[in-house]
Amino acid sequence: MRFRKRNRCQLFNKRWRSGDRGLVNDELVPTLEERKCIGFQKPGRHKCLPPRIKIMNPSIQTSQTSQHWAVVGGGILGMTLALRLSQQGHRVTLLESRANTGGLADAWRIGDATWDRHYHVTLMSDTHARDILGELGLDDQMQWVETKTGFYTDGQLHSMSNTLEFLRFPPLRMIDKLRLGGTIAWAARVKNWKKLENIAVGDWLTRLSGQRTFEKMWLPLLRCKLGECWRETSAAFIWATIARMYAARRTGLKKEMFGYCRGGYAQVLDRFNGKLQDAGVEICCNAAVKSIRTAIDGRMTIQFAEHDRVFDQVVSTLPTPVMSRICPELTPEEKSLFDGVRYHGIVCASVLLKNSLSPYYVTNITDDGYPFTAVIEMTALIDKAELNGSALVYLPRYVAPHDELFDNSDAEIEHEFLCGLQRMHPKLSLADVKAVRISRVRHVFALPTLGYSERLPPIVTSVPGLYALNSSHIVNGTLNVNETIKLANDFAAGLRDLTHPFAHRVARCQPAETLCPV
């Protein structure tokens, strides 16, 4: 029988782009090297696997294939990867450049309270995030609240939290409202998101909702999240946003219920770190990676500021531009793909107030001239007792990684943002402000440009033992904690399945005695 040679890296990355995370069957035809490494079985056995690939005894596999993994990046994605790898019997070291784990989901002290550095919510439909909370023993700490949504339009604050308020919304005519509602309902039922990747979001929304509705409603919202990059963004972006919100309504409650964990992500991360340590994971903070190279013995060397360490396998969760810079052995084609991903960053002010501003969890701003893109009133969701009776407001602004706003001082950003907030809420006095903190992150999410999934950077790189997995690989969803956990789960599931390209890379050239007899 002839066996065709396949580029396993290209094959897996192609299947990932298509959204297929299932078993790889007859497409994974073993190469000559693989036949020497993993042996064969008689045709017809183990029908779910490629013909003639030998199965390793599971008990032997756990001990013989256990390797030392480095997970670079200590955000929720890296922490979940470390947990799943340790659960498979591997030795794992989690490397984080900052002083604490958590990444975008970490917590900090503001005034006399501790809460999340950025705003997060959990939906009823966020099954991966809720499963992790269950593993951490925090599922009984979840609080579920029905929230309200506001719109700041033409200098006025309007509620749009139910159907009646939507029909009364002054800025739109009845025909505009009907077309807007029809657009949302139709988008929620679209299944083939890949077709939308090649349609500009502006063209798609204008065709469905009309020019007036697009300019009055959709365009300000797109600019809030994407800036002027909305012109290069595909319709898959707005589809993913609508689909996630509608998924929450399919949980049986028929309304949007937002959830949070008591104690916020400070408690989640404390439990998560404890679980990792109990699993034997080595957590190294203040460990900025300078480079990742192949060692003399074929393993991976990670260079730090003052020393090097060697690992059997490395998976990096760093943003793609950073990955390209610290991995010199990537091919020019790979570096081009990594560098080709365009990111958006965020500058976000956390404002602790004596009193609440409004009953709305999120206030979307459609008027021009405000320095932030929305007002997120966290205490419209969480109990004020979490913050010692204070109110907490987030003022986010999404900008390009090299925007000059990143270079402004905290005092300059605070002054500009508070002035904008006072224009929206004239009764707000500076005496009502208890504390302000500014967060800056240059690489938050990858812009879903036209044809994005066809230009994804590889997960399985050409460097043996080196993998790259980050939020840029979310191809049919929006960036949130649930999606990042799903990425880690999918990666780990691939390692466990011997028919998967990951497993062939990890278990390459096992000694013959580890193979079960045919």
- CA distance to 171, 224, 360, 386, 420, per residue, from 367 (Å): 12, 10, 17, 32, 12
For residues 336 and 288, state if they share a domain.
yes
pTM of the model: 0.82
Last residue of one domain, picked from the residues 249, 276, 307? 249
For residues 237 and 273, state if they share a domain.
no
Split into its structural domains, the chain has a count of 2
Distance CA 226, CA 181 (A): 23
CB atoms within 10 A of CB 99: 8
Question: Which tokens in the block code for residue 322?
Answer: 């950073």
DSSP string, 9-38: HHHHHHHHHTT--S---TT-PPPHHHHHHH
- CA distance to 93, 329, 454, 472, per residue, from 337 (Å): 27, 14, 10, 11
Residues 6+ apart with CB under 8 A from 509: 36, 37
Element (H, E) at 376: strand 374-377
In a domain, 138, yes or no: no
In a domain, 71, yes or no: yes
In a domain, 375, yes or no: no
In a domain, 93, yes or no: yes
Phi/psi of residue 204, each to 5°? -65, -45
For residues 97 and 177, state if they share a domain.
no
DSSP string, 210-275: -HHHIIIIIHHHHHHHHGGGGGGBBTHHHHHHHHHHHHHHTTTTSS-EEEEETTHHHHHHHHHHHH
Last residue of one domain, picked from the residues 221, 249, 277? 249
What is residue 223's predicted lDDT score, i.e. its pLDDT?
82
Question: Which tokens in the block code for residue 126?
Answer: 């966020």
Distance CA 19, CA 368 (A): 38
For residues 271 and 209, state if they share a domain.
no
Q: Pinpoint the alpha helices (H) of 283-437.
A: 320-326, 332-340, 410-424
For residues 154 and 242, state if they share a domain.
yes
Specify the CATH number for the domain of residue 37.
3.50.50.60
Question: Which tokens in the block code for residue 418?
Answer: 């508070």
In a domain, 492, yes or no: yes
pLDDT beneath 70, residues of the chain: 1-65, 246-256, 496-518
In a domain, 17, yes or no: yes
For residues 84 and 153, state if they share a domain.
no
Structure letter (DSSP) for residue 378: G
For residues 335 and 460, state if they share a domain.
yes
For residues 156 and 241, state if they share a domain.
yes
Strand partners, 402: none
Question: Which tokens in the block code for residue 239?
Answer: 């589809």
Nearest to 330 by CA among 225, 478, 218, 466: 466
Phi/psi of residue 34, each to 5°? -65, -35
Q: Which residue has the tokens 């949130």?
A: 480
For residues 233 and 314, state if they share a domain.
no
What is residue 14's predicted lDDT score, i.e. its pLDDT?
53
Question: Which tokens in the block code for residue 433?
Answer: 């402000």
For residues 158 and 304, state if they share a domain.
no
Specify the CATH number for the domain of residue 172.
1.10.3110
For residues 283 and 233, state if they share a domain.
no
What letters, b where the CB count within 10 A reaches 16 and e where it falls short, cover 284-306? eeebebeebeeeeeebbbbebee
The SS3 of residue 408 is coil
What letters, b where the CB count within 10 A reaches 16 and e where it falls short, cover 157-189? bbbbbeeeebeebebbeeebbebbeebeeebbe
- CA distance to 60, 73, 355, 452, 516, per residue, from 286 (Å): 36, 11, 37, 33, 44
How far from the centroid of its chain's Cα atoms is residue 512's Cα?
40
CB atoms within 10 A of CB 78: 26
What letters, b where the CB count within 10 A reaches 16 and e where it falls short, cover 490-501? bbbebbeebbbb
How far from the centroid of its chain's Cα atoms is residue 238's Cα?
16
Residues 6+ apart with CB under 8 A from 466: 292, 300, 313, 314, 316, 327, 329
Element (H, E) at 201: helix 201-209
In a domain, 290, yes or no: yes
Phi/psi of residue 398, each to 5°? -90, 125
Last residue of one domain, picked from the residues 249, 282, 297? 249
In a domain, 3, yes or no: no
Residues 6+ apart with CB under 8 A from 305: 288, 290
Nearest to 498 by CA among 19, 55, 44: 55
Q: Which amino acid is present at 257?
A: M
Structural domain including 271 reads 8-101+267-341+455-514
For residues 191 and 226, state if they share a domain.
yes
